[in-house]
Amino acid sequence: MRPPRLLSISHSYCVGLNRRLPDAIARTGEWEVTAVSPSNFRGDFGRHTLQACPEEACRVEGVQVYGARRVHTMIYGAPLRKLLRQPWDLVHCWEEPYVAAAAQVAAWIPAGVPLVFATFQNIDKRYPPPFAWFERYALGRANGVIAFGATALEVLRRRRRGAFTAQMIPPGVDVDRFVPDAGARQRVRRALGWSDDVPVVGFLGRFVAEKGVAMLTDALDRVDGPWRALLVGAGPGEPALRSWAARYRDRVAIVTNVQHDDVPAHLNAMDVLCAPSRTTPRWREQFGRMLIEAFACGVPVIASDSGEIPFVVADAGIIVSEADGDGWRREIARAIQDTGLRAQLSARGRRRALDVYDWKVIARQHVEMFDSLSRRAAPAWS
């Protein structure tokens, strides 16, 4: 008998590294997987063109999208509708239920085919029309919804629109690509003109207020002893960040052109990664992919207690209150001065990446959920 057929849809699949989930599911041998994404898409790090990788176990299909400048209003072209009419045993849509594309998939999928959405949303928001209508329609059609964290699952259950199975499954990390790499560490540091004699405090993410960059720079201003800072990302806060960095000259490097494939090397160049995310009335940290990428690279993590972060980090890193400026100064100083602490955190983080966030582990959880839904005659809340 043939394995069941899975269609997995996401605008993020345009980037090869983001297709690790369908690839890992396909590698179990239990589902035949096709991953669908826009043929072209402009993301946070520039424009991407879909390219299938020779080693991928899943089939990759590119389709047109319209209105992609804003993911909330982006819609897929007619070829997706034709693709959805093929005989699938389950359709997985990695789009937030309140966006236009989610409602579109819900409308186009044939009756009787199980449909699973995924969500990072961890604030109980009331969306204006038409997004409230999109969400109501999408969740009304859903057989299952995957929450990417404990705080997202809490919000999903509170909203409870539709009789669907809800399950918490976190995103994963490629533990074969994100690895401790002394050679990459040396290459990046040499390119920056740095030696190994001074600890490097790192940041990876968007340069925006809610990511807490100002908290980090303020704490570094008050840390005694030698340090360097490697700030990787992009965003509207870049001019202020460069103004701050000018005071420290070659002690601070701001790198804005790092592509996805270069992220592991830049993480390895850090002695500690800081994630000082700040909660706002409309946002709290939904997961923090850089945390598990740092774990996989064996980079110690200091992170705030915003949103999902404490659940992601658990005992594998140091958690500091997002409002505790002196706590941030103290913990950064402790981490850069204590090599034994850094070695401990490095080992804990790598172990957590392998045990909890390896894509093979995450794929197994998806397979079990999809198996259950494809066998079930009617959806039920769990």
3-state secondary structure the chain: CCCCEEEEECHHHHCHHHHHHHHHHHHCCCCEEEEEEECEEEECCEEEECCCCCCCCCEEEEECEECCCCCCCCEECHHHHHHHCCCCCEEEECCCCCCHHHHHHHHHCCCCCCEEEEECCCCCCCCCCCHHHHHHHHHHHCCEEEECCHHHHHHHHHHCCCCCEEEECCCCECCCCCCCCHHHHHHHHHHCCCCCCCCEEEEEEECCHHHCHHHHHHHHHCCCCCCEEEEEEECCCHHHHHHHHHCCHHHEEEECCCCHHHHHHHHHCCCEEEECCCCECCECCCCCHHHHHHHHCCCCEEEECCCCHHHHHCCCCEEECCCCHHHHHHHHHHHHHCHHHHHHHHHHHHHHHHHHHEHHHHHHHHHHHHHHHHHCCCCCCC
Of 13-17, 26-30, 294-298, 348-352, where does mean pLDDT reach its minimum? 13-17
**Terminal-residue alpha carbon distance, the chain:** 30
Q: What is the structure's pLDDT at 345?
A: 98
Are 250 and 230 in contact, with CB atoms under 8 Å apart? Answer: no
Q: What is the structure's pLDDT at 330?
A: 98
Of 93-107, 143-157, 165-179, 364-378, where does mean pLDDT reach its minimum? 364-378
Instruction: Look over the chain and give the mean of its residue pLDDT values, rounded to a whole number.
Output: 94
The β-bridge partners of 319 are 303
Q: What is the structure's pLDDT at 381?
A: 32
**26-41: b (≥16 Cβ within 10 Å) or e:** bbeebbbbbbbbbbeb
Q: Which tens digit of pLDDT belongs to each residue from 272-312?
A: 999 999 999 999 999 999 999 999 999 999 999 999 999 99
- Using pLDDT thresholds of 50, 70 and 90, give the confidence band for residue 380: very low
How large a percentage of the chain has pLDDT more than 70? 96
Q: What is the structure's pLDDT at 41?
A: 77
The β-bridge partners of 90 are 6
Q: Which residues, 6 or more positions from 343, have their beta carbon under 8 angstroms from its beta carbon? A: none
Question: Can you read off the two tokens belonging to residue 293?
Answer: 């990428």
Q: Return the closest-CA partner of residue 182 out of 201, 196, 200, 202.
A: 196
Tell me: pLDDT of 67 over 90. no
Tell me: pLDDT of 162 over 70. no
Question: Can you read off the two tokens belonging to residue 282?
Answer: 């409309």
Are 92 and 116 in contact, with CB atoms under 8 Å apart? Answer: yes
Domains, the chain, ranges and CATH?
5-172+358-375 (3.40.50.2000), 182-355 (3.40.50.2000)
Are 226 and 199 in contact, with CB atoms under 8 Å apart? Answer: yes
Q: Which tens digit of pLDDT belongs to each residue from 164-208?
A: 999 999 999 999 999 999 999 999 999 999 988 999 999 999 999
Tell me: pLDDT of 375 over 90. no
Q: Which residues, 6 or more positions from 138, have their beta carbon under 8 angstroms from its beta carbon? A: 97, 98, 102, 103, 105, 106, 117
Are 13 and 53 in contact, with CB atoms under 8 Å apart? Answer: no
Question: Can you read off the two tokens belonging to residue 194?
Answer: 């740095």
Q: What is the structure's pLDDT at 17?
A: 84
Q: What is the mean predicted confidence (pLDDT) over 130-138?
A: 96
Q: Which residues, 6 or more positions from 127, have their beta carbon under 8 angstroms from its beta carbon? A: 98, 134, 135
Task: Using alpha carbons only, give the angle 171, 176, 181 rounded to the nearest 5 degrees.
Answer: 115
Q: What is the structure's pLDDT at 50?
A: 83
Tell me: pLDDT of 377 over 60. no
Q: What is the structure's pLDDT at 382?
A: 36
Q: What is the mean predicted confidence (pLDDT) over 78-97?
A: 96
Are 311 and 149 in contact, with CB atoms under 8 Å apart? Answer: yes
Q: What is the structure's pLDDT at 378?
A: 41
